[in-house]
Structure formats: C-alpha cells, structure tokens
Amino acid sequence: MISSDELCTLAEHREEGPHVSVFMPTARAGAEIQQGPIRFKNLLKEAESRLEAQEIRKPEIEALLNPAQERLQDDSFWQHQADGLAFFLARDFAQYFCLPERFEELAVVEHRFHLKPLFPLISGDGAFYLLALSQNEVRLFRGSRYHISEVELGDEVPRSLADALGHDLTDEQLQFHTGGGDVSSPTYHAQGAGKDDIKPEIRKFFALLDESLKKSLGHTKAPLVLAGVEYFIADLPRREQLFAAARGRDHRKSREP
C-alpha cells in the first residue's frame, strides 16, 4: 500500500525539471507476468517522446528514465508484482509502488507528479478494527478495503470471561457446559434463570477489556467494529456497549454464534 505520508511526499516534490509518472496494470501470477516488461517499455518510450517534445536534451532524458529502464531486465521485479505499478521519476528521484489497484496504462510528463490514479487507494482504503467477542474468546483484527488480518493481543488483554473474572466467579454462580459442541471451546451460563443472570459479570468483563484495549489501540482514529452474538452485546446500555477505544465509532452485532 501507499501511505498518506508517501503521497504527500510525492505531491510536495517540486524540484525543477520534468516529472514522469507511469501507471500500468500488472499480474501477480500466470502468463500475464511476461507482458509486464513489454507494457512498461512501451510506456517509457511514450514518456521519452514527450520529453523530446519538450526539448529536453538526450543525456538528461537517459538519466531521468534510467532507474525505470533498469527494471526491464529485472525478472525478480516482475515476479513480485501486485495488481498495478506506479513509477515516479524526476531529477535525482525515483520511486515506485506495487499496489492492489489495476491502473489503466498511462505515461504523464509534467512539472509535478500525476497522482490522481492513487487517490482511491487512500480515500477508499477504510482502515478499521474488528473486535470479535464471546464469553469464551476475544480476537482483534485489522482490516482495510483490501485485506484483513488478526492482531496479536498483549498479555494485558483478557481472552475470555473466565480469563478476566475467573477469580470472581464461583461454582454457585456458573456451571460449565459444552452444549454437545467442541469441548475445547466451553461456554459459561448462569445458574438459575439463564443468560440474564450473567449480565453483571459481562459488564465487568467489558470494563476490563475496555481498559486493556485502550493500551493496545492507543490513539488510532480507525473505527472499531464490535461483532458478537446479540444477547452478549445488544442489551447493554449504549454507554457501556461502546468501549472507550470505540466511542463515536462503528458498532455492529451478529445474530450468528
């Protein structure tokens, strides 16, 4: 991916002389990989023609395009692409990005870099966190428009209701049962009336989880989405349902276990 800071660096690059921006689709695997160098070579020829039309001297053109020309014979470079390639060249400057966006073929020569094809990557990335909650397991994921991956939780984050409140739970309060399911994933239900009886313990669990997540997530502005069975999170008062780390952010509930 390309970060906002990297995009700002490109936007603020205003050194004297022509700026070349090249965009093209690439392939992650398959026979289409072999078309990459051919497409790139044609785009560099197009950029060269535009530089010549601006009466840029031949030695300057060669020096400007050389970092890109060197990639034409680099098999490893073409074997490790994503969906699109963006290459930026200026005097004493060369930078490229292999990105999850299939660009149209484009070669632009201007007095600054052409960045419009990159805007969807930052405006539509939609970074977020997903917190999957149950009495028996807590998992945190970081996602975006393109991928999602699990975040390793620190030791301070409780992994389950029993992990958070085990010292406060008694045999009289809870009974252990597997419900005929996976013995390695037990559930806890309150003695007596049923699920409603365990709500005070769930509130304590959420409070402890809230404090520990604030340390893990820090000051991130990314939304935190809550996912869990309805009885576990739906009936809590709004001010308690939203963690401090997620306050003012998205919160969703699942009807499936």
CATH at residue 96: 3.30.960.10
141 and 108, same domain (yes or no): no
Helix 58-69 vs helix 35-53: angle between axes, to the nearest 10 degrees?
A: 160
256 within domain boundaries: no
Domain count, the chain: 2
User: In terms of domains, do 100 and 186 share one?
Assistant: no
Whether 239 is in a domain gets the answer yes
Classify residue 21: in a domain, yes or no. yes
Query: Taken in order 59, 60, 61, 67, is the CA torsion positive or negative?
Result: positive
DSSP state of 254: B
Closest listed residue to residue 222, CA positions, set 134, 141, 146: 141
Does residue 60 sit within a domain?
A: yes
Last residue of a domain, one of 80, 102, 123: 123
**Does 239 lie in the same domain as 181?**
yes
- 3-state secondary structure (DSSP) of residue 157: coil
**Euclidean distance between CA atoms 204 and 109, whole angstroms:** 61
What is the chain's pLDDT, residue by residue, as a tens digit (257 residues)? 788 889 889 999 988 999 999 999 999 988 889 999 999 999 999 999 999 999 999 999 999 999 999 999 999 999 999 999 999 999 999 999 999 889 999 999 999 999 999 987 776 556 778 888 777 888 888 877 667 888 887 777 887 777 777 655 544 444 433 343 443 344 444 344 444 555 677 777 777 777 887 777 766 667 777 787 766 665 454 434 444 444 444 444 433 33
252 domain-assigned: no
Q: What integer pLDDT is reported at residue 86 of this predicted model?
A: 98
Where are the alpha helices (H) located in 105-179, listed in sequence order? Answer: 119-123, 161-165
Its domain, for residue 177, covers 128-246
Q: Of 82, 103, 123, which closes a domain?
A: 123
Q: Is residue 117 part of a domain?
A: yes
Q: 253 lies in a domain?
A: no
Q: Which two tokens stand for residue 199?
A: 């709500």
pLDDT at 99: 93
In this prediction, residue 138 carries a pLDDT of 84
Same domain (yes/no): 133, 102: no
Asked if 106 and 191 sit in the same domain, the reply is no
Whether 219 is covered by a domain: the verdict is yes
* 23 plus 114 within the same structural domain: yes
Distance (Å, rounded) from C-alpha 212 to C-alpha 156? 6
Specify whether 153 is located in the same domain as 230: yes
> Both 26 and 114 in a single domain?
yes
Give yes or no: residues 156 and 94 share one domain.
Answer: no
Residue after which a domain boundary falls, among 94, 123, 152 = 123
Write down the pLDDT at residue 174: 47
* CA–CA gap between residue 28 and residue 64 (Å, rounded): 28
